[in-house]
Amino acid sequence: MAMRIIKLEEVDSTNEFCKRENCKDDVLVIAKRQIGGRGTKGRSFESFDGGLYVSVMRHPKNFKAENAFQILIDGCVAVCKTLEYFDITPAIRWSNDVLVDGKKICGTLIENSCSNGYITRSIVGSGINVNNILSETLSDIAVSMRQIKGKNYDIDEVLNVYISNLEKHFALSDYKRYINWLGKNVILKTSDTQKIVLAVDIAADGRLIVEDGGKILKISSAEVSLRF
């Protein structure tokens, strides 16, 4: 990958590091641990030793903001392809969580900066549970590569496979290939309501297309959480 690589022992968040440094070139930031890891909607993210915590900061040229979902596609599918390389079968929980057997193995946080309708800077942060020991409170909802296969992995090997996949661009069809719940009922949950709807498809802009009481709706991930 033609970008500068920064390796850190510990950081609050690789995404926050990228924003503070505000480098004009493209960089890849890797940390052994994060003490202030964040997920979507400001949720905390456990980031102990043994995980892979990476942020990629790019400065795309002439990239329209309306095509921002492509960045999420490339980031999530890169994680899925990496897990498949190690004979682990992933699934995507819309829009940016990667699961194995219903448990979260990776979260992706994307932070874009825009100007005049174009993305001028994009930071894609991913935390992959590789060998890290997860707390008991997460045992029902999260899992690591080590737990799945019963062995430790070479973090550098996982990183190199992941970087190789980050160099590629993927289609919406690649993203949807990892979604095994289209055509099924799902729960859409807001801060004060929840309802069961039929998941129909994923739109080109990333919105979830659902059928609710005979009506077709397009739902933004900023509006709801998805549960199966």
Q: How confident is the model at residue 1 (pLDDT cuts 50, 70, 90)?
A: low
Per-residue pLDDT of 3-15, as tens digits, reads: 899 999 999 999 9
Q: How confident is the model at residue 24 (pLDDT cuts 50, 70, 90)?
A: confident
CA 46 to CA 210: how far, in whole Å? 32
Q: Quickly tell me which residue has 């057997």 as its tokens.
A: 101
The pLDDT value given to residue 141 = 92
The pLDDT value given to residue 22 = 84
The alpha helices in the chain, defined as continuous H runs, are 14-21, 69-85, 145-149, 155-166, 172-177
Per-residue pLDDT of 158-182, as tens digits, reads: 999 999 999 999 999 999 999 999 9
Per-residue pLDDT of 173-212, as tens digits, reads: 999 999 999 999 999 887 788 899 999 999 999 999 999 9
The pLDDT value given to residue 43 = 52
Classified by CATH at the fold level, domain 185-227 comes out as SH3 type barrels. (2.30.30)
pLDDT for 87 beyond 80: yes
Following DSSP, what letter does each residue of 115-156 receive, concatenated?
ETTEEEEEEEEEEE-SSPPPPGGGTTTB--HHHHHTS---HH
Per-residue pLDDT of 94-136, as tens digits, reads: 999 999 999 999 999 999 999 999 999 999 999 999 999 988 8
CA 90 to CA 227: how far, in whole Å? 17
Mean pLDDT, rounded, for 56-61:
95
Residue ranges per structural domain of the chain: 4-177, 185-227
The pLDDT value given to residue 40 = 53
Share of the chain above pLDDT 70, in %: 93
pLDDT for 77 beyond 80: yes
Q: Which range has highest mean pLDDT (12-26, 66-80, 133-147, 209-223)?
A: 66-80
Torsion angles phi and psi, residue 226, rounded to 5: -110, 135
The pLDDT value given to residue 35 = 86
The pLDDT value given to residue 135 = 85
CATH superfamily of 4-177: Bira Bifunctional Protein; Domain 2 (3.30.930.10)
pLDDT for 45 beyond 60: no
CA 130 to CA 125: how far, in whole Å? 16
Question: SS3 of 25, please?
Answer: coil
The pLDDT value given to residue 39 = 55
